[in-house]
Amino acid sequence: MDNDRIKGKVDEVAGKVKSKVGEMTGDRKTQAEGIGQQIKGKVENAYGKVKDEGRAAIEEAREKKIEHDERVEKRRDDVA
């Protein structure tokens, strides 16, 4: 799991708490900051997810290339 996803989740949870505290105390500034922190966390989490998916795609492509190379080598051996 990418560090951005972890950081994003932490910001989301902290933002929810901050927003709720602001709501309960009537502090609109704290409530707004909490909502902003939640949004920031969601963006970080999404960015981390994209990075994770990119890494997975690269790994899958590597594996397919290795399989392809092995099939080509076997065919060469069969022909020779």
Is the model's pLDDT at 80 over the cut of 80?
A: no
- Residues sharing a CB contact under 8 Å with residue 35, sequence separation 6 or more, in sequence order: 15, 19
pLDDT value, residue 16: 97
CA distance 20 to 75: 65
CB atoms within 10 A of CB 5: 19
Strand ranges in 9-79 using DSSP code E only, listed in sequence order: none
Q: Grade residue 27 by pLDDT with cuts at 50, 70 and 90.
A: very high
Residue type, 40: K
For 75, half-sphere exposure in the C-beta direction (CA atoms, 13 angstrom radius) is 6
| 45-64 pLDDT, tens digit each | 999 999 999 999 999 999 99
pTM of the predicted structure, to 2 decimals: 0.73
